[in-house]
Amino acid sequence: MDDLNAKAARDRKIRHTVEIVVLIILFFCFIFPFILVIINVFKVKADITTNPLSLIGEHGFTLKNFPEAMEKMNFWRSFGNSMIVTVSATVLTILFASMTAYVIVRNNWKACGALFGLMIASMVIPFQVLMIPLVSLYGGVLGVLNHRATLVFMHVGFSLSMATFMFHGAIRTNVPIALEEAATIDGCTKWQTYWRIVFPLLKPTIATVAIIDAMAFWNDYLLPSLVLGRKELYTIPIATQIFYGTYSTDIGLVMAALLLAMLPILILYLFMQRYIVEGVTAGAVK
């Protein structure tokens, strides 16, 4: 019996070691492109082309890629455009999705069930199916392209279904109806109950939706490239295209631009990452 227990313990230890090794290998496979950006952003173009895996190139350590990239892509203007679009779309998505989910959860109307079903069904429709009709309608018929507000409106529309789904599960399982009944007895209106009782209890889900949507909006290239045609409206992902020439590409400037584009959203993620698991599992069965 002791031999069997020892063998089982040994097998578990071996399996655990193998799992750790596999996870480490997968981690380095995923992180390798980011490491390449970090080590090559401080090299000149010739050193990157010659030996991209070396820590320091033959021409030594350089910082000139950053100011040159910022000047060519007009970084601060593009950064401002990205901030306006990302913050506006994220805030509106959180507000509209949480209020929609609250109405659906707390009312047994057939219209609420039908609306929620349609929102869930819309999540399976690829954006590529809609982009040509979308541009034709908003550009050819309505003539509202080349506006940041149009891009914000589209971002909110495409992200609302997933956010509502997440808030729906969080409200159903984590917001007791007794709290709302107590607030009603104390004289709170539905609006006051939502803002003072329900919304504060949704902080983990709010943080999760904010991270997921902010990353998606900040890094999105396809939709802004369809909506924004004027250079003064370019977001950072579109502005980085200036470094890709027809016959040659300055890899050092591309690396610097990519790193500058990643930093804001990376900082946001580091500050709010502890809410992700809690928010994603907020709607799980206890």
Determine contact, residues 69/253, Cβ cutoff 8 Å.
yes
Is the dihedral angle over the CA atoms 173, 175, 179, 184 positive or is it negative?
negative
127 C-beta neighbours (distance < 10 Å), count: 12
CATH number for region 71-283? 1.10.3720.10
CA-nearest of 228, 90, 224 to 156 is: 90
What pTM value is reported for the model? 0.80
Report phi then psi at 110, rounded to 5: -65, -35
In sequence order, which residues have a C-beta less than 8 Å from that of residue 61 and are 6 or more positions away?
Answer: 42
CA angle 62/64/68 to nearest 5° reads: 155
- Gyration radius (Cα) of the chain, Å: 24
Domain ranges of the chain: 2-40, 71-283
pLDDT by residue, tens only, the chain of 286 residues: 556 667 777 878 888 889 999 999 998 888 888 888 888 888 877 777 777 777 777 777 778 888 888 888 888 898 899 999 999 999 999 999 999 999 898 888 888 888 888 888 888 888 888 888 888 887 777 777 888 888 899 899 889 999 999 898 888 888 888 888 888 888 888 888 888 888 888 888 888 888 889 888 998 888 888 888 888 888 988 888 877 765 556 777 888 888 888 888 888 777 777 766 665 555 444 4
